[in-house]
């Protein structure tokens, strides 16, 4: 990368600074200098503190709550375009608002499409993200989207556990495709949970489809918000005779009281990536970095190399 270090720069929003620093260490480059000035009323201004004229600019920022993170990213894109950057690439480890990807009832917004429109209108040339809530969100963009998968870090971790009688499970039918890919790769049976919600973030009933008796179960999900579904599934697995239950989730939203629910549940371990900063104390939570995955993708984009060749599976 040394011959190309001068052709691109990496910058970070406020809450994703930790990720950008790791990415830059792996790439062997310095994190770009940027300033975010906050006004008394909550408004803020973004400015680049070095020249980016003619450079490929990578902006690292997950768009998790609150909405300031998305607004920061939009302003960073706009500022980079106005500063004559050659191209602007948004590196979004966690793409927020992705759960609102369709009209599932009358008179609601499709927020994922709106966010895609906002990023495009701001002037982004490319998006690099990971484990979207729904794959079809890529189609909301008319620009290249590199969709990465946390399986490249989760699979080695699962294998390192050396678990016998392994079963792969999903806490809801919507995650069946992802769980089936893991099950096929690992040569393990697949178990599904069927849930019915009373309302958003509240699970009314849940049933298991499959056998977990005397099995070591690994539950897979793309994100954990209040942890109601994942802990209810873990408790149900344990009640049905599972030897142990672990959970893997790409994005640790972990809204209160998620940490308490995980601690009090039958889960042996809860494993996340660091796409969202997780700062709460939990004896059961393990964080795996995906900075190297994003650094390698940036390196491949700069060298016009294949992105998909780094996937364990999709």
Does the structure show a pLDDT above 80 at 205? no
pLDDT value at position 16?
A: 97
pLDDT tens-digit profile of 50-73?
999 999 999 999 999 889 999 999
Does the structure show a pLDDT above 60 at 263? yes
Give ∠ CA 142-92-90 in degrees, rounded to 5. 55
Does the structure show a pLDDT above 80 at 6? no
| Structure confidence at residue 174 as a pLDDT band (50, 70, 90) | confident
195 annotated active-site: yes
pLDDT tens-digit profile of 142-168?
999 999 999 999 999 999 999 999 999
Sign of the dihedral defined by the CA atoms of residues 76, 83, 115, 291, in that order? negative
Nearest to 60 by CA among 295, 289, 251, 279: 295
pLDDT value at position 48?
A: 98
Quote the crossing angle between the two packed helices 151-161 and 176-186, to the nearest 10°.
Answer: 50
Percent of the chain with pLDDT over 70: 95
DSSP bridge pairs for 130: 148
Q: Are 90 and 294 in contact (CB under 8 A)?
A: no
Does the structure show a pLDDT above 70 at 313? no
How far is Cα 230 from Cα 70, in angstroms, rounded to an integer?
A: 27
Nearest to 117 by CA among 92, 155, 93, 143: 143
| Structure confidence at residue 199 as a pLDDT band (50, 70, 90) | low
Long-range contacts of 134-137 (CB under 8 A, 24+ apart): 134/98, 134/101, 134/102, 136/101, 137/95, 137/98, 137/101, 137/112
| Structure confidence at residue 4 as a pLDDT band (50, 70, 90) | low
Whole-prediction pTM:
0.93
pLDDT tens-digit profile of 81-108?
999 999 999 999 999 999 999 998 899 9
Which of these is catalytic: 9, 86, 105, 195?
195
């Amino acid at each position: 990368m040394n011959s190309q270090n001068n052709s691109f720069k990496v910058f970070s929003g406020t809450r994703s600074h930790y990720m950008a620093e790791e990415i830059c260490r792996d790439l062997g480059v310095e994190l770009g200098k940027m300033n975010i000035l906050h006004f008394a009323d909550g408004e803020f201004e973004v400015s680049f503190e070095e020249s980016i004229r003619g450079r490929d600019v990578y902006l690292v920022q997950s768009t998790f709550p609150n909405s300031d993170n998305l607004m920061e990213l939009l302003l960073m894109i706009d500022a980079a375009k106005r500063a004559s950057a050659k191209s602007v690439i948004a590196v979004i480890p966690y793409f927020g608002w992705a759960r609102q990807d369709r009209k599932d009832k009358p008179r609601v917004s499709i927020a994922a499409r709106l966010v895609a429109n906002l990023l495009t209108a701001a002037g982004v040339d490319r998006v690099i993200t990971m484990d979207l809530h729904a794959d079809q969100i890529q189609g909301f963009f008319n620009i290249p989207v590199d969709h990465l998968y946390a399986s490249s870090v989760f699979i080695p971790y699962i294998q390192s556990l050396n678990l016998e009688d392994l079963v792969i499970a999903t806490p809801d039918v919507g995650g069946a495709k992802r769980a089936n890919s893991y099950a096929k790769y690992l040569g393990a049976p697949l178990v599904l949970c069927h849930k019915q919600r009373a309302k958003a973030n509240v699970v009314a009933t849940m049933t298991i489809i499959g056998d977990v008796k005397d099995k070591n179960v690994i539950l897979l999900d793309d994100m954990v918000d209040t942890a109601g579904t994942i802990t209810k599934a873990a408790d149900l697995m344990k009640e049905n005779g599972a030897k142990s239950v672990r959970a893997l989730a790409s994005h640790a939203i972990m809204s209160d009281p998620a940490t308490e629910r995980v601690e009090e549940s039958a889960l042996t371990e809860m494993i996340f990536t660091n796409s969202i900063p997780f700062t709460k104390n939990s004896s059961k939570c393990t964080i795996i970095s995906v900075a190297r995955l994003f650094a390698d993708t940036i390196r491949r984009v700069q060298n016009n190399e294949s992105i998909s060749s780094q996937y364990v599976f999709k």
